[in-house]
Structure 1
Amino acid sequence: MKSIKALKTNLKALNYPTTVGDEGGFAPNLNSNQEALDHIMRAIEDVTLKPGVDVGIALDCAASEFYSDGMYKLRAEEKSYSSEEFTSYLTSLVKSYPILSIEDGMDENDLKGWKF
């Protein structure tokens, strides 16, 4: 809970809205997913927790929401990825941040993607 309060404080300081979305999380309009993860990391560190030791990050990608025509389309980054490329993208996030879990990382009907 401390890290969530720190995240809210940090977002407010940057003039981002701190209203809570349907799933219970903040939804500021950021430039990238990495920027969101960087804000989370900063909040964790602000409350003197060690990322990857004291706390980890879980992602619920809800990939079906941004998958169409065989591509994963990340609006903020203005990039589109094939199934294999999106798997590599998620892998790069796991290598860069203490991500312990990824829920709905691929579209529910992307059978090729789930094989990666």
Structure 2
Amino acid sequence: MSWRCFKRCGRRTLQTFALAFCFIGFYAIFSAPKPATIHQKGHKGMMAGAFIGNIVNNDTDPFALYKSFGRKDWHDYESMKRDALRQGLGEGGKPVIVAVSEFKKLRVSFRNSYP
């Protein structure tokens, strides 16, 4: 076989074979038979993707243990009071217009802070 033809159009031939290999690979991956699922979709015993079995059939609440704990207030009221008492630019949601000279100082300091 003469390699002259391959030298002239070798790159295009290689690209064609690579593209064909990709198409054949994708076809093989996506047309492969799918494994059978253990549980059917929409099954009555499924909850959030986990099989909880006969609990649903017995009409018992799987979260009854956790419902007896009550609610917890996660707010930090002391921190909220301190934030409400703060005074200054931009505190309490008030808009602030920064002067051009201050803005330039901030930009320079931010630029110089990184080594």
Higher helix share: 2
TM-score calculated relative to the size of structure 1: 0.15
Q: Which structure's CA Rg is the greater one?
A: 2
Q: Considering Cα pairs closer than 8 Å and 6+ residues apart, tell me whether 1 or 2 has the greater RCO.
A: 1
Higher strand share: 1
